A and B are shown apart, each in its own frame.
Chain A
């Protein structure tokens, strides 16, 4: 999150030749690398490997069976739906917020940026709780919703709302520093040449921020599909109806059906690895674009 593309761009080619006076002896180097890798293995690599081994413990047949189980399929479907609704909404918000903050000066801007960050600071459990307080049985709109036969809590709308909340800042957070760094000269040039606002947005701004935007979308998607705490509070855990993939993992695990739990978990772990691969690819593309830009300028 804090490793924004901007900082990556600034430091892409800082390769420094180091003499003996400014580097460490080989034995120090290798011990530091070993300690770091041991730490990462204990907390990252071994648990990650465990997901896939546990998933295949009962064989490939059982693995596939756990994934094509109707409850698992409906959990996958709901997870995709929640991500597919929350992603575009937060995307539009992210672009609008970044446009207002990066291209204009106004009072209270830093307060607005802090407020956009709020969902990062709120426990996912509390994110679920606040929607229960509004739409739940005893909530503000509870009676109205019952009278009109709508369901938000323990139903799909609640899950979507909770997902939107926890992924709220990701895209805006990625775009604001990027668009601030880019300034507004190109947009102003477009305006002078007679483009209207939407043309400027589509033809100048969006192409300029495409990597940052994609980066934000990928992070949002990963979090949306993997959210557990917030969704757990509003879902009601109704099998085949209001279970997302992470909730399905929990249910299977609590029923001591470990192989099946890890099978569904392995899909999510695979999604996480795919996210990291795409993220590295985007960082590489973005830094390559900067190098090309600088070569053109020279």
Chain B
């Protein structure tokens, strides 16, 4: 493409406004969190963020988010497959409802999941006789985090699956591959970047989640207390520096994940455009 002078107006105004608004709403407030931690010495900071109760919350938050994201990767791929390849009654409705976790307020999701998975709930009462307790245990945290991450994998994999050309699969079949071989060696490799992006998005969302978890978790220190709740608890005790220290640990991890996701999306788009 030949480089020519851009004649459209409004560059300075639109970019200036974008940068101003971004700074006022996002960048300056976020930097406040990092500045606040400088009130603590390094030793104090370390003591706060490695306290046993805080470490237990990291383990729960990251562990449950990971399990939720893995569940979503498996069943999200399956759901995307079913929605693009097959027809069944009510498919359009199911397709639209997959986005429900994006639209449903997290507090509503939290009390609804608790009602369903409590020992007297619709599903909880079936699981309870088998010795499985979901609500008010770490398992409940997994259920909530699976719920809120559910649309990500479906919605990243679905468009890639729709764009796959039937010819490739025909070629594989004519070369003697059975259906499973075609799936695992031809289709799945093409889906990897999208699948991984969806997985990372679901994981990143789950780590920060608060509303849907606190109702179902039971919030017992050392057992079922997530990291965002630790921040809230410290704030309620007016321990601003402590709350901010834990928040900064989470922020750093979230930023690393965000960059990883952007890299993944770039890889994914790059592969799609390269194959065209």
B231 in contact with A97 (CB, 8 Å): no
A104 in contact with B162 (CB, 8 Å): no
Q: Which of B195-239 contact A (CB under 8 A)?
A: 197-198, 201, 204-205, 207-211, 215, 228, 231-232, 235
B231 in contact with A125 (CB, 8 Å): yes
Question: How big is the A interface, by class?
Answer: 35 or more
A-side contacts of B111, CB under 8 Å: 51, 249, 253, 261-262, 265
Proximity string of chain A (111-144) to chain B, C-beta cutoff 8 Å, 1 when within and 0 when not: 0101111111111111001111110101110000
B-side contacts of A100, CB under 8 Å: 11, 14-15, 18
Asked if B98 is at the interface of the complex by the 8 Å CB criterion, the answer is yes
Given contacts A43-B147, A265-B105, 13 further A-B contacts (CB under 8 A): A2-B155, A10-B159, A10-B163, A21-B173, A44-B150, A103-B8, A115-B22, A115-B26, A115-B27, A117-B262, A125-B232, A197-B9, A249-B111
Bound: A8/B95 CA distance, A: 13
- Which of A24, A44, A101, A112 has a CB less than 8 Å from the CB of B147? A44
B112 in contact with A276 (CB, 8 Å): no
B97 in contact with A233 (CB, 8 Å): no
Q: Looking at the assembled complex, report how far the CB atom of A110 sits from the nearest CB atom of chain B, in whole angstroms.
A: 8
B170 in contact with A39 (CB, 8 Å): no
Bound: A228/B244 CA distance, A: 19
B-side contacts of A268, CB under 8 Å: 104-105, 107-108
Tally inter-chain residue pairs, CB-CB below 8 A: 309
Show 10 A/B contacts (Cβ-Cβ < 8 Å), sorted by A: A36-B79, A43-B146, A101-B18, A103-B8, A130-B30, A196-B9, A197-B8, A222-B102, A226-B107, A275-B103
Asked if A272 is at the interface of the complex by the 8 Å CB criterion, the answer is yes
By a beta-carbon cutoff of 8 Å, the part of chain B in contact with chain A is 6-11, 13-15, 17-19, 21-22, 25-30, 32-33, 36, 75, 78-79, 81-82, 85-86, 88, 92, 94, 96-109, 111-113, 115-116, 121-123, 143, 146-147, 150, 152, 155-156, 158-159, 162-163, 165-166, 169-170, 173-174, 179, 182, 197-198, 201, 204-205, 207-211, 215, 228, 231-232, 235, 240, 243-244, 247, 250-251, 254-255, 257-259, 262
The 8 closest A-B CB pairs, nearest first, are: A226-B105, A123-B208, A228-B211, A229-B210, A21-B173, A3-B155, A272-B103, A197-B9
A225 in contact with B108 (CB, 8 Å): no
- Which of B98, B106, B197, B215 has a CB less than 8 Å from the CB of A226? B106
Q: Looking at the assembled complex, report how far the CB atom of B127 sits from the nearest CB atom of chain A, in whole angstroms.
A: 11
A280 in contact with B96 (CB, 8 Å): yes
Known: A29-B86, A121-B258, A125-B228. A229 touches B106 (CB 8 A): yes
B-side contacts of A33, CB under 8 Å: 82, 86, 88
Bound: A245/B197 CA distance, A: 33
A140 in contact with B32 (CB, 8 Å): yes
B94 in contact with A37 (CB, 8 Å): yes
User: Smallest CB-CB separation from A192: which chain B residue?
Assistant: B7
Q: Which of A152-210 contact B (CB under 8 A)?
A: 161, 164-165, 168, 184, 187-188, 191, 196-197, 200-201
